[in-house]
Structure 1
């Protein structure tokens, strides 16, 4: 079991490296799995809700400072919801 967990955590770390974001649909799925609104994510990062909408739609990418904050938030959500981070169903 430990090897499986370690492997899962490695995939999560690779998915949300400090400067790398998961694909837009995974970003949205992680937020939904955590029962967060786009407005709540935006407030946590310090941006407008429209920015989060565009990031989740893949229309734009966050700038460096916001990208690091967003990646950290996504990393925490991925740790709480590993099946979602790996492209699986919601883990509510």
Structure 2
């Protein structure tokens, strides 16, 4: 695979978000509030509310940070990610 294709794969993977339910499940598994997540990412709590509800999608920079945050939680709480993914249709 050429370098541009690897860069594309990395880009897609790094900003891919889990299902809506998995996002919430991961946050809850970590015992975090929406306000705590918002503060860590640098957005308002309402942004997290909307992202978890599917009412809005994060913009590029915030999306990268949010996706990174959720991947870290998924690594720490794999059962939460699996439960959240299997419950959403």
Establish whether TM, by shorter chain, passes 0.5.
yes
Give unpaired runs (5+ residues) of structure 1: 1-16
Q: CA deviation at 1:32?
A: 0.3
Number of residue pairs aligned between Structure 1 and Structure 2: 72
Q: Which among 79, 83, 87 is matched to residue 87 of structure 1?
A: 83
Preserved CA contact (<8 Å) 2:20 2:52: yes
* Cα distance in 2, alignment partners of residues 18 and 53 from structure 1: 22
Q: Which among 37, 44, 53 is matched to residue 41 of structure 1?
A: 37
TM-score normalized by the length of structure 2 = 0.78
Preserved CA contact (<8 Å) 2:17 2:67: yes
Aligned partner of 1:23 in structure 2 is 19
Give unpaired runs (5+ residues) of structure 2: 1-12, 85-89
TM-score normalized by the length of structure 1 = 0.75
| Higher relative contact order, chain-length normalized (CA < 8 Å, sep 6+) | 2
Q: After the TM superposition, which parts of structure 1 deviate over 3 Å for at least 4 consecutive aligned residues? A: none
* Cα distance in 2, alignment partners of residues 61 and 87 from structure 1: 22
CA RMSD of aligned residues (A): 1.0
* Cα distance in 2, alignment partners of residues 24 and 49 from structure 1: 16
Q: CA deviation at 1:28?
A: 0.4
Larger Rg: 2
